[in-house]
Amino acid sequence: MYSLTTAFITLCAILPTALATPTQPNGTVTTALERRVTYTGEGTWYDNAITAGACGYQDLTSDATVAISTSLYGSGGYCDRYIQVTNTNTGQSATGLIRDECPFCNTYDLDMSPGLFEQLSTLSDGEIPISWQFI
């Protein structure tokens, strides 16, 4: 027979795990992407001022914004999250705000606004090797 004491012990064992699971504001679990993890990929730039980004904001080219791959973007749970991006060739780093989706990017590639890209390299470079993480 299942006693009240057994039920209490089971609840005490499960509850801390359930409460510790990180979630986004929209309720999606984010165990795969954590602030302590560094991702690597290619960084490119695009004219972010042509239309509003997938997150619904119209930004300026001078704003430090970034588009993440479609596979990471999902339903937009990472919108308005800050990331730190580093040009792995030069060591230059800058902070950007996720505001858009990049349908042509590989999973950990980033498409940056000119304002962010120019903090890491010149626009004429077009593409740079990067590492990045959530902050």
Any idea where the domains of the chain sit in the sequence? 39-134
Domain 39-134 has CATH 2.40.40.10: yes
Q: What rounded mean pLDDT belongs to the chain?
A: 83
Amino acid at 7: A
Question: pLDDT higher for 32 or 21?
Answer: 32
Q: What pTM was estimated for this model as a whole?
A: 0.74
- Percent of the chain residues topping a pLDDT of 70: 74
On the question of pLDDT at 18 being above 60, the answer is: no
Average pLDDT over residues 4-24: 48
pLDDT for position 37 = 92
3-state secondary structure the chain: CCCHHHHHHHHHHHHHHHHHCCECCCCCECCCCCCCCCEEEEEEECCCCCCCCCCCCCCCCCCCEEEEEHHHHCCCCCCCCEEEEEECCCCCEEEEEEEEEECCCCCCCEEECHHHHCCCCCHHHCEEEEEEEEC
